[in-house]
Copies of this chain bind each other. A is one copy, B any other.
Amino acid sequence: MTQLPTVLDVGRMAGVSRQTVSNVLNSPELVRPATRERVEEAIRQLGYRPHASARRLRTRKSSTIGVRLDPMANGISGAVLDRFLHALTEKADARGLRITLFTARDPDDEIRQFARLRDGADVDAFVLTSTFYGDTRTEWLIENDVPFVTFGRPWGIDDMDDPQHRWVDVDGWAGLREATRSLTASGAERIAFLGWPSPSGTGDDRRRGWRDALRETTALTEGEIAALDVASEDGVAQGRDAVRALLDSGVVLEGVVSASDSLALGALLALGPDIPVIGYDNTPVAAAIGLSSVEQPVDEVADGVLMLLLGERGNDVVGWDAEATDARHRLITPRLVTRTLALS
Protein backbone atom coordinates (compact mmCIF):
# COMPACT_ATOMS: atom_id res chain seq x y z
CA MET A 1 0.00 0.00 0.00
CA THR A 2 1.47 3.35 -0.97
CA GLN A 3 2.30 5.68 1.89
CA LEU A 4 2.26 8.74 -0.32
CA PRO A 5 -0.60 11.22 0.04
CA THR A 6 -3.12 11.09 -2.76
CA VAL A 7 -5.21 13.68 -4.50
CA LEU A 8 -8.09 12.45 -2.36
CA ASP A 9 -6.17 13.26 0.83
CA VAL A 10 -5.51 16.73 -0.51
CA GLY A 11 -9.18 17.21 -1.33
CA ARG A 12 -10.27 16.05 2.11
CA MET A 13 -7.88 18.40 3.90
CA ALA A 14 -8.91 21.35 1.73
CA GLY A 15 -12.61 20.46 1.86
CA VAL A 16 -12.96 20.24 -1.93
CA SER A 17 -13.60 17.54 -4.50
CA ARG A 18 -10.94 15.54 -6.28
CA GLN A 19 -11.89 17.37 -9.46
CA THR A 20 -11.13 20.71 -7.86
CA VAL A 21 -7.71 19.52 -6.73
CA SER A 22 -7.13 18.30 -10.25
CA ASN A 23 -8.11 21.68 -11.64
CA VAL A 24 -5.75 23.48 -9.27
CA LEU A 25 -2.92 21.27 -10.50
CA ASN A 26 -3.69 21.44 -14.17
CA SER A 27 -6.02 24.33 -14.98
CA PRO A 28 -5.67 26.74 -12.04
CA GLU A 29 -7.39 29.52 -13.95
CA LEU A 30 -10.66 27.61 -13.54
CA VAL A 31 -10.50 27.75 -9.73
CA ARG A 32 -11.45 30.71 -7.52
CA PRO A 33 -8.35 32.22 -5.86
CA ALA A 34 -9.49 31.47 -2.27
CA THR A 35 -10.13 27.82 -3.09
CA ARG A 36 -6.89 27.57 -4.96
CA GLU A 37 -4.92 28.85 -1.99
CA ARG A 38 -6.62 26.36 0.33
CA VAL A 39 -5.74 23.47 -1.99
CA GLU A 40 -2.16 24.65 -2.45
CA GLU A 41 -1.77 24.88 1.32
CA ALA A 42 -3.02 21.28 1.70
CA ILE A 43 -0.59 20.13 -1.02
CA ARG A 44 2.29 21.75 0.85
CA GLN A 45 1.26 20.39 4.25
CA LEU A 46 0.79 16.84 2.96
CA GLY A 47 3.83 16.89 0.71
CA TYR A 48 1.67 15.68 -2.13
CA ARG A 49 3.48 15.09 -5.43
CA PRO A 50 1.28 14.51 -8.44
CA HIS A 51 1.81 11.36 -10.45
CA ALA A 52 4.55 9.99 -8.24
CA SER A 53 3.69 6.42 -9.11
CA ALA A 54 3.38 7.31 -12.76
CA ARG A 55 6.94 8.59 -12.80
CA ARG A 56 8.08 5.27 -11.47
CA LEU A 57 6.65 3.49 -14.50
CA ARG A 58 9.58 4.11 -16.78
CA THR A 59 12.24 3.61 -14.14
CA ARG A 60 10.97 0.32 -12.75
CA LYS A 61 12.65 -2.77 -14.01
CA SER A 62 9.60 -4.87 -14.69
CA SER A 63 7.39 -2.40 -16.45
CA THR A 64 4.09 -4.17 -16.68
CA ILE A 65 0.69 -3.00 -17.84
CA GLY A 66 -2.45 -4.70 -16.55
CA VAL A 67 -5.35 -5.33 -18.91
CA ARG A 68 -8.67 -6.92 -17.97
CA LEU A 69 -9.81 -9.66 -20.31
CA ASP A 70 -13.49 -10.55 -20.16
CA PRO A 71 -14.93 -13.99 -20.74
CA MET A 72 -15.51 -14.41 -24.46
CA ALA A 73 -18.96 -13.20 -25.38
CA ASN A 74 -18.69 -15.29 -28.55
CA GLY A 75 -20.42 -12.49 -30.40
CA ILE A 76 -19.27 -10.65 -33.47
CA SER A 77 -18.34 -7.30 -32.03
CA GLY A 78 -16.14 -8.35 -29.12
CA ALA A 79 -13.48 -8.92 -31.78
CA VAL A 80 -12.51 -5.25 -31.79
CA LEU A 81 -11.19 -5.51 -28.23
CA ASP A 82 -9.26 -8.63 -29.17
CA ARG A 83 -7.77 -6.77 -32.13
CA PHE A 84 -6.83 -3.95 -29.75
CA LEU A 85 -5.15 -6.42 -27.36
CA HIS A 86 -3.08 -7.87 -30.20
CA ALA A 87 -1.98 -4.38 -31.27
CA LEU A 88 -1.27 -3.26 -27.69
CA THR A 89 0.82 -6.35 -26.94
CA GLU A 90 2.90 -5.89 -30.07
CA LYS A 91 3.51 -2.19 -29.51
CA ALA A 92 4.16 -2.60 -25.78
CA ASP A 93 6.65 -5.37 -26.46
CA ALA A 94 8.50 -3.08 -28.86
CA ARG A 95 8.86 -0.60 -25.96
CA GLY A 96 10.04 -3.27 -23.49
CA LEU A 97 6.71 -3.34 -21.64
CA ARG A 98 4.77 -6.45 -20.69
CA ILE A 99 1.03 -7.03 -20.66
CA THR A 100 -0.42 -8.96 -17.73
CA LEU A 101 -4.00 -10.15 -18.04
CA PHE A 102 -6.54 -10.45 -15.28
CA THR A 103 -10.26 -10.97 -15.04
CA ALA A 104 -12.97 -9.26 -13.01
CA ARG A 105 -16.63 -10.02 -12.43
CA ASP A 106 -17.76 -6.39 -12.22
CA PRO A 107 -16.31 -2.88 -11.71
CA ASP A 108 -16.01 -3.32 -7.92
CA ASP A 109 -14.15 -6.57 -8.40
CA GLU A 110 -11.95 -4.89 -10.99
CA ILE A 111 -11.03 -2.19 -8.44
CA ARG A 112 -10.07 -4.91 -5.96
CA GLN A 113 -7.87 -6.42 -8.67
CA PHE A 114 -6.26 -3.02 -9.32
CA ALA A 115 -5.35 -2.77 -5.64
CA ARG A 116 -4.08 -6.33 -5.46
CA LEU A 117 -1.91 -6.02 -8.57
CA ARG A 118 -0.56 -2.63 -7.54
CA ASP A 119 0.20 -3.67 -3.96
CA GLY A 120 2.00 -6.76 -5.18
CA ALA A 121 4.10 -4.48 -7.40
CA ASP A 122 3.13 -6.77 -10.26
CA VAL A 123 1.61 -4.07 -12.40
CA ASP A 124 2.71 -0.46 -12.77
CA ALA A 125 -0.13 0.88 -14.89
CA PHE A 126 -3.46 -0.15 -16.35
CA VAL A 127 -5.11 0.13 -19.72
CA LEU A 128 -8.89 0.07 -19.43
CA THR A 129 -11.44 -0.71 -22.09
CA SER A 130 -15.21 -0.38 -22.24
CA THR A 131 -15.70 2.83 -20.29
CA PHE A 132 -19.25 3.59 -19.22
CA TYR A 133 -21.38 6.30 -17.62
CA GLY A 134 -20.35 6.92 -14.00
CA ASP A 135 -17.29 4.67 -14.26
CA THR A 136 -16.02 4.13 -10.70
CA ARG A 137 -12.81 2.48 -11.87
CA THR A 138 -11.16 5.60 -13.25
CA GLU A 139 -12.13 7.52 -10.10
CA TRP A 140 -10.31 4.95 -7.99
CA LEU A 141 -7.21 4.97 -10.17
CA ILE A 142 -6.99 8.78 -10.10
CA GLU A 143 -7.51 8.92 -6.34
CA ASN A 144 -4.82 6.31 -5.82
CA ASP A 145 -2.35 7.86 -8.24
CA VAL A 146 -2.14 4.75 -10.37
CA PRO A 147 -1.20 5.56 -13.98
CA PHE A 148 -3.77 4.52 -16.53
CA VAL A 149 -5.15 5.28 -19.97
CA THR A 150 -8.56 4.25 -21.20
CA PHE A 151 -9.50 3.07 -24.69
CA GLY A 152 -12.82 4.90 -24.61
CA ARG A 153 -13.50 8.42 -23.43
CA PRO A 154 -15.14 9.15 -20.07
CA TRP A 155 -18.87 9.46 -20.70
CA GLY A 156 -19.66 11.69 -17.72
CA ILE A 157 -19.65 15.35 -18.75
CA ASP A 158 -17.46 16.37 -15.82
CA ASP A 159 -14.63 14.03 -16.64
CA MET A 160 -14.37 14.64 -20.38
CA ASP A 161 -11.58 17.22 -20.04
CA ASP A 162 -10.11 15.98 -16.79
CA PRO A 163 -6.36 16.20 -17.39
CA GLN A 164 -5.78 13.30 -14.99
CA HIS A 165 -7.91 10.98 -17.08
CA ARG A 166 -6.00 10.28 -20.25
CA TRP A 167 -7.92 8.53 -22.95
CA VAL A 168 -7.85 7.50 -26.56
CA ASP A 169 -11.06 6.93 -28.42
CA VAL A 170 -12.39 6.45 -31.89
CA ASP A 171 -14.69 9.16 -33.15
CA GLY A 172 -17.91 7.21 -33.65
CA TRP A 173 -19.73 10.42 -34.51
CA ALA A 174 -17.40 10.99 -37.47
CA GLY A 175 -17.63 7.33 -38.50
CA LEU A 176 -21.44 7.28 -38.67
CA ARG A 177 -21.55 10.69 -40.28
CA GLU A 178 -19.24 9.51 -43.07
CA ALA A 179 -21.15 6.23 -43.47
CA THR A 180 -24.47 8.09 -43.72
CA ARG A 181 -23.12 10.68 -46.14
CA SER A 182 -21.74 7.91 -48.35
CA LEU A 183 -25.34 6.74 -48.81
CA THR A 184 -27.00 10.16 -49.16
CA ALA A 185 -24.34 11.18 -51.71
CA SER A 186 -26.18 9.15 -54.32
CA GLY A 187 -29.47 10.93 -53.64
CA ALA A 188 -30.92 8.56 -51.03
CA GLU A 189 -32.52 10.27 -48.04
CA ARG A 190 -34.39 7.75 -45.94
CA ILE A 191 -31.37 6.20 -44.21
CA ALA A 192 -32.28 4.48 -40.93
CA PHE A 193 -29.96 4.22 -37.93
CA LEU A 194 -29.99 0.82 -36.22
CA GLY A 195 -28.35 1.26 -32.82
CA TRP A 196 -28.58 0.50 -29.13
CA PRO A 197 -31.10 1.96 -26.66
CA SER A 198 -30.12 5.21 -24.93
CA PRO A 199 -28.29 6.01 -22.78
CA SER A 200 -25.22 4.44 -24.29
CA GLY A 201 -22.06 6.53 -24.55
CA THR A 202 -20.74 4.97 -27.72
CA GLY A 203 -24.19 4.24 -29.12
CA ASP A 204 -25.54 7.77 -28.69
CA ASP A 205 -22.35 9.22 -30.16
CA ARG A 206 -22.78 7.12 -33.29
CA ARG A 207 -26.48 8.05 -33.45
CA ARG A 208 -25.56 11.77 -33.42
CA GLY A 209 -23.22 11.24 -36.38
CA TRP A 210 -26.05 9.70 -38.42
CA ARG A 211 -28.51 12.41 -37.41
CA ASP A 212 -26.11 15.25 -38.21
CA ALA A 213 -25.40 13.77 -41.64
CA LEU A 214 -29.13 13.58 -42.43
CA ARG A 215 -29.61 17.17 -41.28
CA GLU A 216 -26.69 18.33 -43.41
CA THR A 217 -27.43 16.44 -46.62
CA THR A 218 -31.17 15.72 -46.82
CA ALA A 219 -34.46 17.62 -46.71
CA LEU A 220 -35.92 15.31 -44.04
CA THR A 221 -37.80 16.95 -41.16
CA GLU A 222 -36.84 16.24 -37.56
CA GLY A 223 -39.94 14.07 -37.29
CA GLU A 224 -38.99 12.05 -40.35
CA ILE A 225 -35.47 11.60 -39.01
CA ALA A 226 -36.80 10.45 -35.63
CA ALA A 227 -38.97 7.84 -37.34
CA LEU A 228 -35.83 6.33 -38.88
CA ASP A 229 -34.10 5.91 -35.50
CA VAL A 230 -34.31 2.24 -34.48
CA ALA A 231 -33.05 0.96 -31.13
CA SER A 232 -32.35 -2.70 -30.40
CA GLU A 233 -30.15 -4.75 -28.12
CA ASP A 234 -27.07 -5.97 -29.98
CA GLY A 235 -27.40 -9.18 -31.97
CA VAL A 236 -28.15 -10.47 -35.46
CA ALA A 237 -31.65 -11.74 -34.67
CA GLN A 238 -32.45 -8.62 -32.66
CA GLY A 239 -31.36 -6.37 -35.51
CA ARG A 240 -33.35 -8.37 -38.04
CA ASP A 241 -36.51 -8.21 -35.92
CA ALA A 242 -36.14 -4.48 -35.25
CA VAL A 243 -35.86 -3.71 -38.98
CA ARG A 244 -38.76 -6.01 -39.80
CA ALA A 245 -40.89 -4.18 -37.23
CA LEU A 246 -39.92 -0.86 -38.83
CA LEU A 247 -40.92 -2.15 -42.27
CA ASP A 248 -44.18 -3.52 -40.88
CA SER A 249 -44.99 -0.07 -39.49
CA GLY A 250 -44.96 1.23 -43.07
CA VAL A 251 -41.66 3.10 -43.04
CA VAL A 252 -39.87 3.09 -46.40
CA LEU A 253 -36.08 2.68 -46.24
CA GLU A 254 -33.35 3.52 -48.72
CA GLY A 255 -30.46 2.37 -46.55
CA VAL A 256 -29.32 1.48 -43.04
CA VAL A 257 -26.29 2.49 -41.01
CA SER A 258 -25.63 0.58 -37.77
CA ALA A 259 -23.83 0.78 -34.48
CA SER A 260 -22.40 -2.73 -34.95
CA ASP A 261 -21.80 -5.41 -37.57
CA SER A 262 -24.16 -7.73 -35.68
CA LEU A 263 -27.04 -5.30 -36.07
CA ALA A 264 -26.04 -4.59 -39.67
CA LEU A 265 -26.12 -8.27 -40.51
CA GLY A 266 -29.59 -8.45 -38.97
CA ALA A 267 -30.68 -5.53 -41.16
CA LEU A 268 -29.28 -7.33 -44.18
CA LEU A 269 -31.34 -10.41 -43.35
CA ALA A 270 -34.50 -8.30 -43.05
CA LEU A 271 -33.92 -6.22 -46.17
CA GLY A 272 -32.12 -8.48 -48.64
CA PRO A 273 -29.20 -7.42 -50.80
CA ASP A 274 -30.83 -4.51 -52.68
CA ILE A 275 -30.90 -1.93 -49.88
CA PRO A 276 -27.43 -0.80 -48.76
CA VAL A 277 -26.42 -1.55 -45.17
CA ILE A 278 -23.27 -0.33 -43.42
CA GLY A 279 -21.95 -1.91 -40.24
CA TYR A 280 -19.50 -0.82 -37.56
CA ASP A 281 -16.21 -2.38 -36.39
CA ASN A 282 -15.23 -4.02 -39.67
CA THR A 283 -15.23 -7.46 -38.09
CA PRO A 284 -14.19 -10.64 -39.92
CA VAL A 285 -17.89 -11.26 -40.50
CA ALA A 286 -18.15 -8.04 -42.52
CA ALA A 287 -15.04 -8.93 -44.53
CA ALA A 288 -16.34 -12.44 -45.17
CA ILE A 289 -19.77 -11.51 -46.49
CA GLY A 290 -18.77 -8.26 -48.19
CA LEU A 291 -20.53 -5.90 -45.80
CA SER A 292 -19.35 -2.29 -45.82
CA SER A 293 -18.34 -1.24 -42.33
CA VAL A 294 -16.66 1.48 -40.28
CA GLU A 295 -13.25 0.32 -39.07
CA GLN A 296 -11.73 1.34 -35.74
CA PRO A 297 -7.97 1.72 -36.34
CA VAL A 298 -6.77 -0.28 -33.33
CA ASP A 299 -3.10 0.14 -34.22
CA GLU A 300 -3.44 3.90 -33.89
CA VAL A 301 -5.40 3.46 -30.66
CA ALA A 302 -2.69 1.24 -29.17
CA ASP A 303 0.01 3.70 -30.20
CA GLY A 304 -1.94 6.57 -28.67
CA VAL A 305 -2.56 4.68 -25.43
CA LEU A 306 1.13 3.90 -24.97
CA MET A 307 2.24 7.40 -25.89
CA LEU A 308 -0.10 8.90 -23.31
CA LEU A 309 0.90 6.31 -20.72
CA LEU A 310 4.60 6.93 -21.22
CA GLY A 311 4.31 10.65 -21.80
CA GLU A 312 5.79 10.29 -25.26
CA ARG A 313 5.40 13.17 -27.65
CA GLY A 314 6.23 11.99 -31.13
CA ASN A 315 9.62 10.30 -30.87
CA ASP A 316 10.59 12.48 -27.95
CA VAL A 317 10.14 10.61 -24.69
CA VAL A 318 9.45 13.07 -21.91
CA GLY A 319 8.37 12.57 -18.31
CA TRP A 320 4.92 11.45 -17.30
CA ASP A 321 3.91 14.85 -15.86
CA ALA A 322 0.64 16.20 -17.09
CA GLU A 323 2.32 19.58 -17.23
CA ALA A 324 4.94 18.38 -19.68
CA THR A 325 2.64 17.52 -22.55
CA ASP A 326 -0.44 18.99 -24.09
CA ALA A 327 -1.83 15.80 -25.58
CA ARG A 328 -3.93 14.18 -22.86
CA HIS A 329 -6.66 12.84 -25.07
CA ARG A 330 -6.74 11.50 -28.58
CA LEU A 331 -9.80 11.14 -30.74
CA ILE A 332 -9.00 9.01 -33.76
CA THR A 333 -11.06 9.17 -36.94
CA PRO A 334 -12.29 5.79 -38.14
CA ARG A 335 -12.35 4.82 -41.78
CA LEU A 336 -15.24 3.57 -43.89
CA VAL A 337 -14.46 0.30 -45.68
CA THR A 338 -16.74 -0.02 -48.71
CA ARG A 339 -17.48 -3.46 -50.10
CA THR A 340 -19.80 -5.30 -52.46
CA LEU A 341 -21.94 -8.04 -50.92
CA ALA A 342 -20.56 -11.50 -51.63
CA LEU A 343 -23.74 -13.30 -50.60
CA SER A 344 -26.32 -12.15 -53.07
Query: B-contacting residues of A (Cβ < 8 Å)?
Result: 62, 64, 69-72, 74-76, 79, 82-83, 85-87, 89-90, 93, 98-103, 120, 122, 236, 262, 265, 268-269, 283-285, 287-289, 298, 342-343
Contacts and interface: CB of A to CB of B under 8 A. Distances in A.
Nearest to A70: B86
A106 to B, nearest CB: 14
Nearest to A75: B284
A100 B98 CA distance: 7
A62 B120 contact: yes
Contact of A122 (B98, B265, B287): B98
19 contacts: A62-B120, A69-B85, A69-B90, A71-B86, A74-B83, A79-B82, A82-B82, A85-B101, A89-B101, A89-B103, A93-B102, A98-B100, A98-B102, A99-B101, A236-B342, A265-B288, A265-B289, A289-B343, A343-B343
A83 B82 CA distance: 9
Contacts of A343: 268-269, 289, 343
A74 B287 contact: yes
Contacts of A93: 102-103
Given A82-B82, A101-B101, A285-B288, A89 B76 contact: no
Identify the 8 closest CB pairs spanning chains A and B, nearest first: A72-B86, A99-B101, A82-B82, A76-B284, A93-B103, A89-B101, A69-B89, A285-B285
A328 to B, nearest CB: 27
A282 to B, nearest CB: 9
B98 A98 contact: no
A19 to B, nearest CB: 33
Contact of A82 (B62, B72, B342): B72
Contacts of A83: 72, 74
A116 B98 CA distance: 12
A332 to B, nearest CB: 17
Nearest to A123: B98
Contacts of A269: 342-343
Contacts of A70: 86
Contacts of A79: 79, 82, 284
A263 to B, nearest CB: 11
Nearest to A67: B101
Contacts of A89: 69, 101-103
B62 A122 contact: yes
Contacts of A100: 64, 98-101
Contacts of A86: 69-72
Nearest to A235: B288
A298 B71 CA distance: 12
A241 to B, nearest CB: 13
Max chain B CB contacts within 10 Å: which of A70, A89, A298? A89
Contacts of A289: 265, 285, 289, 343
Contacts of A283: 284
